[in-house]
Amino acid sequence: MAAMLETDGLVAGYEPGLPIVRGASIRVEPQEIVVILGPNGAGKSSLIKAIAGLVPISGGAVRLAGVEITRVPAHRMVQAGLAFVPQTENVFPLLSVQDNLRVSAGGLPRADTAARIEEMFALFPDLARQRRLMAGSLSGGQRQMLAAARALIVRPRVLMLDEPSAGLSPRFVEMVFARLAEIRRGGVTVVLVEQNARAALAIGDRAYVLVEGRVAHEAPAATLWDDPVVAELYLGQRSDGGR
């Protein structure tokens, strides 16, 4: 059976001849939560941004449920079934919460949109109370919720998040990860780039460790923490990278 999401020797970077991702191959099975770890500058963010079509790809391939999406432009990824939540600036600050959802639901049939927005508000009741507020006035945690709701509204098959816990208070971090586990139970495959390795591994199934743009190690999330190879590759950097 084909993987839900798969990259095959992916090479990508902003400037030609200076790849940040240098031949990364990962494989994500349906309904898995996969965590991508690695020291600073390893190309974790660039990897998922390249998958999302935001960083130019110069080699290798990306497949979503067996269909190649390597050269699909970023704005068509949603239709392909792939949603992405950037780390920062992931909501439109001058649109209301409701309009943030509406503008993200462009791919849905018109009749479906209103119902789907209500479903999102049911999933994130915090947001429902703020629906007419400008997204820019939300707290950091609420913004992450809105960003996730915005990504989920189109019923993606794969949800990719870039450091969803960055800058959040511990209480919110816990909430975000609990919500991600819930989302996976709803049938969505989740790919997560995280600095907060402990929290991410607690909900993850498997993890990849990226070093210098390549996959250096792959292991089940539960055992990764005790893996000596990983300790050497990555956890040595924990003092500055792992928080």
Note the residues at the interface with another protein (CB under 8 A): 14-16, 52-54, 73-79, 84, 86, 89-95, 99, 102-104, 106-107, 150, 154
Type of residue at 143: R
CB atoms within 10 A of CB 31: 15
Closer to another protein by CB, 94 or 122: give it.
94
Distance CA 34, CA 79 (A): 22
Least distance to another protein, CB of residue 196, Å: 22
Token pair 């208070």 in the structure block, residue: 169
Closer residue to another protein, CB minimum distance, 27 or 102:
102
Query: Residue 1 Cβ, how far from another protein at the closest point, in Å?
Result: 28
Closest contact distance (angstroms) between CB of 162 and another protein is: 11
Q: Which is nearer to another protein, 158 or 224 (CB)?
A: 158
- The Cα 201–Cα 98 span in angstroms is 33
Report the alpha-carbon distance of residue 100 to residue 195 in Å, rounded.
27
Please name the helix (run of DSSP H) or strand (run of DSSP E) that holds residue 68, with its range, or none.
strand 67-68
CB of 223 to another protein, least distance (A): 34
Shorter beta-carbon distance to another protein: residue 55 or 235: 55
